Amino acid sequence: MAPRLPKIRRPRAPSSLSPLARYRLEQAAFASVAAAIGIAIGVAVTLLLSDDETGPAPAPEIVISQPRVDDVDVPDTAEQLGFPGFATRNTTRIAGADPLIDAAGAALAAFPTGAGVGGPAAVSLVGAEDWTGAIAAASLVADPVGAPILVGDSGSVPEFTGDAIAALGPRGSKATDRTQAFAVGEVAVPEGLRTQTIAGGNPAEVAAAAARVRREVAGPPDHLVVVSSDDPAFAMPAAAWAARSGDPVLFVQNGEVPVATAKALRKNSGVPVFALGPESVIPGKVLRDVERIAGSVRRISGSDPVTNAIAFARFSSGTFGWNINDPGHGMAIANAGRPLDVAAAASVTSRGKPGPLLLTDDSASVPTSLRGFLLDTKPGYFDDPTRAVYNHIWLIGDTTAMGIGFQVQVDELANLERVRGGTGGG
């Protein structure tokens, strides 16, 4: 018999509401059903009541709350409605105040559950400070496992995370050997879930253990990605690719190849290896050591985290790499200073309309290099916009991570434009 998942309770709305307040509540309820198609996700996942002990609990209601608008002049009505702070023509924001909430919201958006639609077979849980664990777990987001990453704690399961697990209702599958939760590192898991622990004494050991689990359930990888555990901003984009492709991510650290990483490379001898990061992050000596073990390795890099992420988004070699050099794609943007937001990014960049994780080091304005990339991939049409391709961009984090002005700029950079016979937008 499947384990009983926690019940969730529905908040009661006041009986007397203004038309605007009623509109906001209706929008919030609608968002919980339609999050996967780009309806805005708010900053809080509240609790709903379920009497069904055999199926997954209903998806938590997504509550739209008023965003901070200290960086752009937004009319009062727009501010009260929550737009453009949550969604615009071409962007949707996962508006969590911290990565834990972002991960829960992204998992619910990427794996909508209910009305006869089942949730993911499993979830992965990582610790509240464990960005390396989140990157290591990213390959388990890919099929056939399909386990979104949630953020927990070593002592107990945070309320938001527990509610998300109850709503997702992981039941295990043949591909997961009936595992419902992967505990990555030191993290608590709700009672009653069939759990597999992915542990190690350092990031390299945890990543190697995750690569072994991935190999056991999905077979040998097509590629391996090597990043540094010493600099999170340069490693973050690897999570999105791992979540889309299933390619495991391994760590180098302290200017050397750890024993666990070397063993994983030998275990997958002959598998192409790609290193993400410039020489300042992954020294040439380390790359040569990787090459001696693996046979070959190719570096992808940019001089800073923003350009490094763009280089990875543009890169392709055979079946490896996003090859985003034209319009018509999904993408996500996160703040380079919030590395644990890779947990949320892994969900939304691998499901629906997959695409790369891009970074910003400026919360107020789109950096020049990122602006150039978005302009290069800006969609256009000649005669009929309904026959055009479109870009959609997820923003990960609340307005402290990326302000509303930033979102407005991104929306315009992603907007469909007429390229012949006059001017006009989509």
Position 340 scores a pLDDT of 98
- Is 424 within the bounds of a domain? no
Position 74 scores a pLDDT of 54
- Is 423 within the bounds of a domain? no
Which residue has 């709503």 as its token pair?
167
Dist. CA 258–CA 275, nearest whole Å? 15
Is residue 193 classed exposed, middle or buried when 0-12, 13-18 and 19+ CB atoms within 10 A define those classes? buried
Dist. CA 411–CA 392, nearest whole Å? 9
What SS3 class is residue 264? Answer: helix
C-alpha atoms less than 13 angstroms from C-alpha of 67 in its C-beta half-sphere: 37
Which tokens sit at 259?
A: 């024993």
- Is 1 within the bounds of a domain? no
Which tokens sit at 105?
A: 């919201």
Which residue has 């309904």 as its token pair?
386
E strand segments, 263-396: 273-276, 298-300, 330-335, 357-360, 380-381, 392-396
Identify the CA nearest to 126 among candidates 112, 140, 115, 105: 140
Contacts of 323 (CB under 8 A, 6+ apart): 314, 315, 316
| Helical (H) or strand (E) element with 414 | helix 404-414
- Is 93 within the bounds of a domain? yes
Position 26 scores a pLDDT of 39
Which residue has 């198609």 as its token pair?
37
φ, ψ for residue 270, nearest 5 deg: 90, -10
- Is 4 within the bounds of a domain? no
- Is 158 within the bounds of a domain? yes
Position 108 scores a pLDDT of 95
Dist. CA 71–CA 316, nearest whole Å? 37
The pTM of this model reads 0.83
Dist. CA 103–CA 346, nearest whole Å? 9
| Cα torsion angle, 300, 303, 305, 311, sign | negative
Q: Which residues of 361-379 are buried (b: 16+ CB within 10 A; e: fewer)?
A: eebeebbebbeebbeebbb
- Is 302 within the bounds of a domain? yes
Decide: 258 and 291 in contact? Cβ < 8 Å.
no
Structural domain including 89 reads 19-418
| Helical (H) or strand (E) element with 313 | helix 305-314
Alpha helix ranges (H) inside 182-258: 203-218, 232-235, 237-245
φ, ψ for residue 140, nearest 5 deg: -80, -10
Position 65 scores a pLDDT of 38
Position 247 scores a pLDDT of 98
- Is 348 within the bounds of a domain? yes
Instruction: Please report, in tens digits, the pLDDT of each residue of the chain (426 residues total).
Output: 444 443 333 333 333 444 333 333 334 333 433 333 333 333 333 333 333 444 555 544 433 333 444 455 555 655 556 667 789 999 999 999 999 999 999 999 999 998 889 999 999 999 999 999 999 999 999 999 999 999 999 999 999 999 999 999 999 999 999 999 999 999 999 999 999 999 999 999 999 999 999 999 999 999 999 999 999 999 999 999 999 999 999 999 999 999 999 999 999 999 999 999 999 999 999 999 999 999 999 999 999 999 999 999 999 999 999 999 999 999 999 999 999 999 999 999 999 899 999 999 999 999 999 999 999 999 999 989 999 999 999 999 999 999 999 999 999 999 999 986 554 444
Position 54 scores a pLDDT of 45
Q: Report how many domains make up the chain.
A: 1
What SS3 class is residue 310? Answer: helix
Dist. CA 316–CA 226, nearest whole Å? 16
